[in-house]
């Protein structure tokens, strides 16, 4: 891998903002919305943000129990039996939901996964390490469940789940601010909690821009007007927002006209917590979102040294100017669909989750390291996020066409390779790699 070259700047222009600087400034400008609590059943709590700590009212598990089907034993008894080459009597059978009696010295208990460990037992031998045998010669009595010969001495505590080792009573099992996922709901259920207190969902408006956009189904492909394109970004971004737990409303396409854009944003600002726009944030004469937000409030940042995704924007609309209270955040994504995707997952996603009350404030997930199975001989002055996927050898293959308008590159990929500005790559070099699942899992 080559050494990154120094940043290139054009005389008279401010250098572009780094991704880290943009994200830092963005998260400094975004604060969680005032707390509004809802009670929802567990099955409806996935992707919600927890409003109150979940404190365990019991130990999980509530008793020492077996991790395996096998035999509950005293380690000293097994040692003695192996030394004497003798089997051990099986005096009781304990299944999940039962509760056995104290284990007498010199005996074992047949036990099944999840069953409580009898008092006196200090290990479990799995059944694969045991042999059912006939009574030894001279045995005075036949135990209720026969005899077993164990083939090895277990370690003390082997295959035993200790009481409270998952969750200890009176501890915080799930902290407030947690963005709930299926495993969290399972933890809550294990504590006997049927409902959770969560924050209300963030209300987000998706506002596409551009006279060229046509809704799929409105016009058949053969009748698509010259210069028109189908609105693909809508169907990319709505599921991404919903996977974050947002309540999403799609606004009519903002026309390429300043007054109409300003009016539509003002109306949306009074109804929604945040507005996500696509297109209209560059420097063209038809890019009206940026000046409209400036007129309604303030513009915080809007150009980032990354590829794709340079023209990202964050602004705030002052609702007090419109007869309301507080502010509405506006996140302006580029118009090209790949640029929209990359800026959404790297910048808009953490900002929206912070607004929704996720704590600690989410940032970019930690990347993995992976070797590339391609050459990257032409460095760019901007940091590049390249669509890649792992092959059978665990190396990263690259999609041939990395143009920011080629949405099939995202559909094909399973991750993004992070190539620093000014860096070239040769096969076998390592790069930072983000699996796409890290951004919505």
Rounded to whole angstroms, the Cα distance separating 376 from 384 reads 11
- Residue-wise pLDDT tens digits, 173-222: 999 999 999 999 999 999 999 999 999 999 999 999 888 899 999 999 99
DSSP lists the bridge partners of residue 375 as none
Q: What is the pTM of this model?
A: 0.89
Question: What's the pLDDT score for residue 281?
Answer: 72
Query: 335: which residues sit within 8 A by CB, 6+ positions away?
Result: 209, 210, 233, 278, 279, 280, 282
Rounded to whole angstroms, the Cα distance separating 33 from 355 reads 6
* 49 DSSP assignment: B
- Residue-wise pLDDT tens digits, 76-88: 999 999 999 999 9
The rounded mean pLDDT for the chain is 93
- Residue-wise pLDDT tens digits, 43-75: 999 999 999 999 999 999 999 999 999 999 999
Question: What's the pLDDT score for residue 9?
Answer: 45
Q: What's the number of CA atoms in the CB half-sphere (13 Å) around residue 247?
A: 11
- Residue-wise pLDDT tens digits, 339-393: 999 999 999 999 999 999 999 988 888 899 999 999 999 999 999 999 999 999 9
DSSP lists the bridge partners of residue 109 as 72, 92
Question: What's the pLDDT score for residue 10?
Answer: 44
Give the orientation angle of helix 289-296 with respect to helix 258-269, to 10 degrees: 50
Question: What's the pLDDT score for residue 7?
Answer: 43
- Residue-wise pLDDT tens digits, 272-292: 999 999 987 766 655 788 889
DSSP lists the bridge partners of residue 430 as 371
Q: How confident is the model at residue 139 (pLDDT cuts 50, 70, 90)?
A: confident
List strands edge to edge, sheet with 123-126.
Answer: 123-126, 70-73, 108-111, 88-94, 147-150, 130-133
Question: What's the pLDDT score for residue 285?
Answer: 58
**Are 205 and 268 within 8 A, CB to CB?**
yes
């Amino acid at each position: 891998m080559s050494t990154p070259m120094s940043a290139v700047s054009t005389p008279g222009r401010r250098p572009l903002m780094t991704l880290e600087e943009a994200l830092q400034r963005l998260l400094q400008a975004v604060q969680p919305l005032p707390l509004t609590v809802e009670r929802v059943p567990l099955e409806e709590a996935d992707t919600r943000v927890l409003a109150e700590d979940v404190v365990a009212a019991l130990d999980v598990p509530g008793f020492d129990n077996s991790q395996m089907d096998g035999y509950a034993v005293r380690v000293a008894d097994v040692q003695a039996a192996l030394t004497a080459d003798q089997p051990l009597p099986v005096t009781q059978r304990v299944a999940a939901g039962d509760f056995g009696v104290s284990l007498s010295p010199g005996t074992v208990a047949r036990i099944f996964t999840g069953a409580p460990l009898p008092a006196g037992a200090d290990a479990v031998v799995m059944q694969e390490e045991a042999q059912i045998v006939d009574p030894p010669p001279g045995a005075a009595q036949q135990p209720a469940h026969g005899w077993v010969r164990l083939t090895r001495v277990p370690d003390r505590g082997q295959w035993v789940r200790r009481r409270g080792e998952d969750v200890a009573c009176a501890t915080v099992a799930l902290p407030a601010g947690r963005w709930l996922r299926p495993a969290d709901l399972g933890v809550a259920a294990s504590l006997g909690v049927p409902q959770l207190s969560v924050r209300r969902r963030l209300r987000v408006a998706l506002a596409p821009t551009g006279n060229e956009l046509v809704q799929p189904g409105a016009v058949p492909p053969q009748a698509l007007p010259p210069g028109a394109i189908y609105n693909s970004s809508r169907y990319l971004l709505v599921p991404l927002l919903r996977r974050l737990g947002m309540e999403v409303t799609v606004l009519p396409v903002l026309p390429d006209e300043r007054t109409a854009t300003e009016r539509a944003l003002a109306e949306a600002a009074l109804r929604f917590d945040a507005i996500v726009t696509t297109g209209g944030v560059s420097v063209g004469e038809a890019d009206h979102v940026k000046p409209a937000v400036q007129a309604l409030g303030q513009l915080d940042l809007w150009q980032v040294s990354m590829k794709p995704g340079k023209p990202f924007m964050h602004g705030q609309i002052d609702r007090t100017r419109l007869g309301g209270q507080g502010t509405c955040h506006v996140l302006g994504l580029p118009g090209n669909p790949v640029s929209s995707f990359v800026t959404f997952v790297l910048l808009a996603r953490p900002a929206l989750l912070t607004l929704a009350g996720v704590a600690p404030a989410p940032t970019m997930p930690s990347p993995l390291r992976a070797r590339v199975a391609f050459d990257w001989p032409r460095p760019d002055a901007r940091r590049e996020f390249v669509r890649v996927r792992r092959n059978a050898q665990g190396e990263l293959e690259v999609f041939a066409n990395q143009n920011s308008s080629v949405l099939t590159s995202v559909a094909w990929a399973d991750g993004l390779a992070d190539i620093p500005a000014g860096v070239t790559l040769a096969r076998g070099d390592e790069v930072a790699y983000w699996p796409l699942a890290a951004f919505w899992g």
